[in-house]
Amino acid sequence: MDTIHTLSELLKNSGCHYQIFDLGRRIKTISNQTFADIELGQQPYPYPMQRKAHLAIAYWNEAKQPWIWFLKFELDERGLLKQTDVGNFIKYVLEAMGTRLNQEMNEDQQQKLANNPYTFKPAEEKMAVFHSQIRATLDLTCSQYYEHAQHYFSGGLGWDKWQTVGLQGITDMCARLGQEENGVMVRNALKHLPNEPLYATLGALEHVDIKDKLASRIAELARIEMDSQNPDLFLLSAYARALAGADTSLSAPIIDAILAHPRLSHQEVLIGIAGRCWHLLANAETAEQFLLRLAQTGNQALFNQLFADLVMLPELRMVLLPLLHSSPSPELANALLKLQQATKA
């Protein structure tokens, strides 16, 4: 048998269907061809976080019951996967399972495969969203909490009766916004939801693409929060992040409106924008305004961390690097100078 050098080869040879997801920032699919190119070092990893690729690889046979690997790989300074790490993980897989990935593993095999440095466990909220998304992708049944969540979001239970609504039911609805009026129910419910289910819903929406009507409702609620005398900045951050999958014509004005006001540009809000709405920073003016607000927090360590993280994103690199050599505002220039000094130290 020929030596297997990439996960793509391993998955193809197994005769399984498979789908790659990024789990670092938003849960986003990566096409099989793009992932194959990434593995060959032909392009950088598209969504790095803290110089790592956080991946979920789901693969399935005809029975459509998916097996999932959650993997974390270091990236080099160019954002490329380190091929030795991928090769090492493949060795673990081959030792534990052989090349027949579409077979159930016994306990000994599971233990062997789990005992490697590349697997990680996503946060509980992200895991719930991911499981809902993969089940929706494969057209599998929803969790036992789905219908109860629908009943609640229709207003049928009473908005104060949220304690019995499971997070998995909410993520199931958000993964199926185009089905069974789920999108309409979520949109209509947003104005009524108490804090706990509201945050859970907005957190699930961060990871899906949303239609204009729902995005407009979230944008409207964000503006109401911005205009209030004492805006809840944590809620504003949640609204901003929930717009990550909206059309930019609806999300960009909200981000720009937040960045226009120092009092709204709390570091919690800025972290949310960097983590979920980074694509809006591809606009050079928005990027510069974002970095200025970040500098104005006075938290140089956070500035250094977020700049280093964002500059690794291929779509932002050539937007952010020129700022190091331009003459922005004195506050931003000072923060950038300290960043460069810290890098050289």
pLDDT confidence of residue 116: 86
Pick from 49, 194, 217: nearest CA to 205:
217
How far apart are the C-alpha atoms of 141 and 144, rounded to whole Å? 9
Q: Do 218 and 246 form a contact (C-beta atoms < 8 A)? A: yes
Mean pLDDT estimate for the chain:
92
- Of 57-66, 106-115, 248-257, 322-331, give the lowest mean pLDDT range: 106-115
Give the pLDDT confidence of 199-255 residue by residue, as tens digits: 999 999 999 999 999 999 999 999 999 999 999 999 999 999 999 999 999 999 999
Q: What is the pLDDT of residues 178-191, one digit of tens each?
A: 999 999 999 999 99
Would the pTM count as exceeding 0.85?
yes
Question: Residue 188 and residue 186: Cα distance in Å, rounded?
Answer: 6
**119, 72 contact by CB (below 8 A):** yes
- 94-126 pLDDT, tens digit per residue, is 887 776 676 666 677 777 777 789 999 999 999
Q: Is residue 38 classed exposed, middle or buried when 0-12, 13-18 and 19+ CB atoms within 10 A define those classes?
A: buried
Q: How far is Cα 104 from Cα 224, in angstroms, rounded to an integer?
A: 52
pLDDT at 103: 66
pLDDT at 1 over 60: no
Q: Which residues contact 62 (CB under 8 A, 6 or more apart)?
A: none
Going from the C-alpha of 338 to that of each of 34, 118, 304, the distances in angstroms are 36, 34, 8
What mean pLDDT comes out for the span 75-84?
93
Could you give the C-alpha distances from 116 to 45, 71, 88, 95, 136, in angstroms and in order? 22, 10, 9, 12, 30
| 345 three-class SS | coil
The distance between the two most distant Cα atoms of the chain, rounded to a whole number of Å, is 69
The model's confidence at residue 280, banded by pLDDT at 50, 70 and 90, is: very high
Q: Is the pLDDT of residue 331 over 50?
A: yes
Dihedral Cα 70, 75, 79, 81, nearest 10 deg? -70
Total residue length of the chain = 345
CA distance 20 to 313: 18
Query: How far apart are the C-alpha atoms of 167 and 25, rounded to whole Å?
Result: 20
